[in-house]
Structure 1
Amino acid sequence: MPILRFFIPFAAAYFLSSLFRAVIGVISPELAREFSLSPQDLGALASLYFYAFAFAQIPAGVLLDRFGPRRAEGGLILAAAAGALLFCFADSFAALGAGRVLIGIGVAICFAAPLKAAAVWYPPEKQVALSGWIMLVGGLGASFATKPVELALGYFDWRMLFAGLAVLSLLAAMGIAWAIRDIPVDREQRSMAEQWRGLGGLLVHRRFWWVMPWAFTGMGTFISVQGLWGMQWLMHGAGYSKPDAASLLLAVSLISLSGYFFIGALSERLARRGVTNRHLLAAGMLLDLLSLLAISLRWPGEVVWWCLYGLGTSLNVLTYTVLSHGLPATLVGRGNTGLNLFMFIGTGSISFLVGWLISQLQAQGMATGQAFGTTFMCLTAVNALAATWYLLRWRTFEQR
């Protein structure tokens, strides 16, 4: 199958998936104003997408196995289009939430589907390159949800934005249906109950519990900050204007993308010098913690600390490789699925709990800026616990 015919529709769908995930942050001031939403309400709204995405992984994976990438992803993206339309016309918090849930379900396999298709059509070396390029496009989608969307809101409102995203989702579904060929499907498909039992086999593996807490907290924190709380912190905790906050978050996203290039370009050279993925992941954890602490305490050089946070979080992707390198081959696929599941459950939980804590502190009379600072310090502490667990268990998995 021609590379561009494969790449363009799948990459477009993954771009939209990442844009949907992060766009709530830039439009949060408008939503809060129009629907009188508290920080707790905003956190709950953001979390619905992540919970829907997480719990759709297993059933959506069954659909992917049974019907193939073309029909499974093409059909699910229609749910995302419907969710965007519902969000566009929402007149209540419940309608906004229902729209976010549909979107989360609709984009659940936007990365898994092209990986499955590529495994059938292309040799291993091309599969790696294609997955890297699709991840890059996804990162651009998250970046687009910052300053570019903020600029677009100068010309039309958030409802028109979601109407446009619904149309683009429909076009993406049509593109996949037209351009992508069906692949042979496994006739001995596993049921959903078997998929959950397979995940259970992963949950008894010690290596999974070594890295999972960081996926839950560290990776969950970054996605939550990128998707909502970074914008809110910069505006209400640090006193930035909305345009300046959007610009800084764009810089953070682009620096995070540059970190992926660093990993790809230098990881093999570093490994030959004894610096492996587990060392790079630990370095990323420490950089994350230092940056979050500096941001929470408003240390001088705030822009630099935010950019360093973006760089540190780019190393989080190595959580997957650190896990896979110590798993039996039969568990690697389930390892990625399980890590995704817990990462997005963590993101949803953190998104909600941050809003809940800010609202509780404000209700007790704490100033808004102080409430944000205290909450970010709590985030830093939770991340520190997960990083400490990883480091304390280092020798247990030293040779694996």
Structure 2
Amino acid sequence: MTEECRTAPKGYGYRWIVWAIMLASYMVVFFHRLAAAVVRQNLVDDFGLSGSAFGSLASMYFYAYMVMQIPVGYLADSLGARATVTFGMTLAGAGSLLFGMAQGTTLLFAGRFLVGIGVSTVFIATLKVLSMWFRERDFGTLSGVTNLVGSLGGVLAQAPLAWAVAAFTWRTTFVAIGALSLLLGGLCWLLIRNAPADMGLAPLNAAPPTRGKPSLAEGFRAILSNWRIWPAALFYASIMGIYLAFSGAWGISYIEKVYGLARPAAAAIASYIVFGAMAGGIMTGGLSDRIGRRKPVILTMTALFCLCLTPLVFWNGGMPPQALLRPLFFVMGVTSTAFILTWAVAKEINVPRYTGMAVALVNTVAFGGAALITTAMGVILDRMPDAAPLVQYRALFSFALACSLFGIACALLIPETRCRNITVAAAEKG
């Protein structure tokens, strides 16, 4: 983060309060994103879920997130972050309460889906806030910091959640997180301001003059016709999809069944991929901003991510030494954060007034990919009911490795923006 970012003109200090409440909300997003893996056995015991049914339940979050990205992008660009996130956190709280109190699978799935709809509002609105309250040159770094702090919620959804479930039951835990979400919704309305102009301050970033609210049709015609956004979106889908499928659905059960560990111990090991994502989040955005390039960072980290998957397929039939798991998962987490830079790329290849919708498009593709990857892994397990756990999970990680190789192919087509909005730069030259 640059010195200029830390020492903005007088009156802009309130942006740290705005960002802080957004970060607190984003922690709840990550908690729900990864929590299903910890309570998988509880849900199987209480509701009799099969592997594919659990994969579908875990994916309900991603499907809801995917469906809501384009509406949320438009709302963030038109109504602003304040109203959008307040509504989202309130709905997420209601969904978590429903999930925790569900007595049948219909309400269980409905609660998970409502949570996904609610939390889908937070990230795009956060990026919109960053684009309004902070300098453009700090966007990659601040996006990484946002991901890092949000990942703390993912850490809470690993070993701490396993301990909470053991102590208070999974139902009580999800009811409590629902109440917290409702509280955060109220704080969002009270504290968030959409832009410096809401407090009588001048904008920090230059942008082409615009009139009125952005047009949804006009915005998406411009974004969809921009071929450069599609490689970024597909890359994001493949790499983040693998990361979320592992950390949010299948990683803990892999360690439990293949290595014979109890759930809290398995969750503690699996949490290293989240720790890695936290470290990578701040490192990835900062490194890219510092060198003034996006693509070299994306390609290098994705290649390393692919290498990290190979021991789970080829080493001892997919069972590397247990002592290797923590460092392996940590590096997987670090390198998976290459997808963070797709947010910056989406912002930098489209007209600034459509930032929310551009990020919404790549998120729609990405979470659709995450849902399909997570569900596909459940189907793979169901089709191998009599196979040993090691054979089953080797098949899962072979599929993940194939997806990561597809991600590298997409990364090769991502344009280099040199960390600035190329539409604004072109207009200035013209």
TM interval, shorter chain, is 0.7 to 0.9
Matched with 1:349 is 372
RMSD over equivalenced CA pairs, Å: 2.8
Of 210, 213, 232, the residue aligned with 1:189 is 213
Of 173, 189, 203, the residue aligned with 2:185 is 173
Q: CA deviation at 1:298?
A: 2.3
The one-letter code matched in structure 2 to 1:315 is A
Q: Tell me the SS of whatever aligns to 1:153.
A: helix
Matched with 2:26 is 14
> 1:237-288 deviations in whole A, cap 9, x for unaligned?
44332122211122221122112232345445555xxxx4212211221111
Matched with 1:386 is 407
Matched with 1:338 is 361
Matched with 2:202 is none
Cα distance in 2 between the residues matched to 1:368 and 1:286: 28
Cα distance in 2 between the residues matched to 1:320 and 1:58: 15
Question: Is structure 2 residue 339 aligned with structure 1 residue 316?
Answer: yes
Decide whether aligned partners of structure 1 residues 123 and 50 sit closer, same or farther in structure 2, where only a CA change above 3 A counts: same
Consecutive unaligned residues of structure 1, counting only runs of 5 or more, are none
> 1:348-397 deviations in whole A, cap 9, x for unaligned?
111111101111121xx322331121122122113213323544x58xx5
Q: CA deviation at 1:169?
A: 0.7
Q: CA deviation at 1:34?
A: 1.3
Question: Is structure 2 residue 199 aligned with structure 1 residue 153?
Answer: no
Q: Tell me the SS of whatever aligns to 2:228.
A: helix
Q: CA deviation at 1:113?
A: 2.4
- Does the 8 A contact of 2:141 with 2:289 survive in 1? no
Of 35, 57, 61, the residue aligned with 2:47 is 35
Q: CA deviation at 1:143?
A: 1.5
**For residues 221-300 of structure 1, what are the structure 2 equivalents within 5 Å?**
221-267=242-288, 270=291, 276-296=293-313, 297-300=318-321
Q: CA deviation at 1:5?
A: 3.4
- Does the 8 A contact of 1:7 with 1:130 survive in 2? no
Cα distance in 2 between the residues matched to 1:119 and 1:381: 35
Q: Tell me the SS of whatever aligns to 1:56.
A: helix
Decide whether aligned partners of structure 1 residues 249 and 130 sit closer, same or farther in structure 2, where only a CA change above 3 A counts: same
Cα distance in 1 between the residues matched to 2:356 and 2:190: 29
- Does the 8 A contact of 1:287 with 1:312 survive in 2? yes
Cα distance in 1 between the residues matched to 2:83 and 2:117: 15
Q: CA deviation at 1:223?
A: 1.6
- Does the 8 A contact of 2:145 with 2:281 survive in 1? no
The one-letter code matched in structure 1 to 2:404 is N
Matched with 2:423 is none
Cα distance in 2 between the residues matched to 1:398 and 1:7: 28
Cα distance in 2 between the residues matched to 1:29 and 1:377: 24
Q: CA deviation at 1:135?
A: 2.8
Matched with 2:425 is none
- Does the 8 A contact of 2:66 with 2:365 survive in 1? yes
Identity of aligned pairs, percent?
A: 27
> 1:297-346 deviations in whole A, cap 9, x for unaligned?
22343333222211211222123345555556677654322111100010
TM-score of the aligned structures, taking structure 1 as reference length: 0.87
- Does the 8 A contact of 1:88 with 1:160 survive in 2? yes
> 1:205-231 deviations in whole A, cap 9, x for unaligned?
332233332212111111221111111
Q: CA deviation at 1:136?
A: 2.5
Decide whether aligned partners of structure 1 residues 83 and 191 sit closer, same or farther in structure 2, where only a CA change above 3 A counts: farther
Matched with 2:8 is none
Cα distance in 2 between the residues matched to 1:72 and 1:322: 23
Matched with 1:302 is 325
Q: Tell me the SS of whatever aligns to 1:206.
A: coil
Matched with 1:202 is 223
Q: CA deviation at 1:40?
A: 0.5
- Does the 8 A contact of 1:281 with 1:318 survive in 2? yes
Question: Is structure 2 residue 147 aligned with structure 1 residue 135?
Answer: yes
Decide whether aligned partners of structure 1 residues 282 and 154 sit closer, same or farther in structure 2, where only a CA change above 3 A counts: same
Decide whether aligned partners of structure 1 residues 319 and 73 sit closer, same or farther in structure 2, where only a CA change above 3 A counts: closer
Greater alpha carbon shift after TM alignment, 163-172 vs 29-38: 29-38
- Does the 8 A contact of 1:293 with 1:380 survive in 2? yes
